[in-house]
Amino acid sequence: MFRLNDKVAVVTGAGSGIGAAIALLFARQGARVVVLDLDESAAADTVERIRATDAKADATRCDVSDAAQVRAAFAEIDARLERVDVLVNNAGVAHVGDLEGTTEADFDRVYRVNVKGFYLCAQAALPSMLRQGSGVILNMASITALVGVPERFAYSMSKGAVLAMTMSIAIDYMKRNIRCNCICPARVHTPFVDGFVARNFPGREAEMLQKLSEYQPMGRMGTPEEVACLALYLCSDEASFITGQAYPIDGGVLVT
Catalytic residue check, 119: no
For residue 58, report the phi and psi dihedrals to the nearest 5 degrees: -140, 155
Instruction: Determine which one of 111, 119, 155, 233 is catalytic.
Output: 155
Choose among 71, 80, 91, 116: nearest CA to 8: 80
Report whether 140 contacts 18 (CB < 8 A). yes
Q: Tell me the DSSP string of 69-84.
A: HHHHHHHHHHHHHS--
C-alpha span between 243 and 247 (Å, rounded)? 11
Number of neighbouring beta carbons within 10 Å of residue 1: 7
Torsional sign, CA 190, 170, 72, 64: negative
Report whether 204 contacts 160 (CB < 8 A). no
Number of neighbouring beta carbons within 10 Å of residue 237: 12
Torsional sign, CA 8, 179, 253, 100: positive
Q: What is the CA radius of gyration of the chain?
A: 17
Can you list the alpha helix ranges (DSSP code H) found in 2-103?
17-28, 40-51, 67-81
Query: How far does CA 41 lie from the centroid of its chain?
Result: 19
Indicate which residues carry an active-site annotation.
Answer: 155
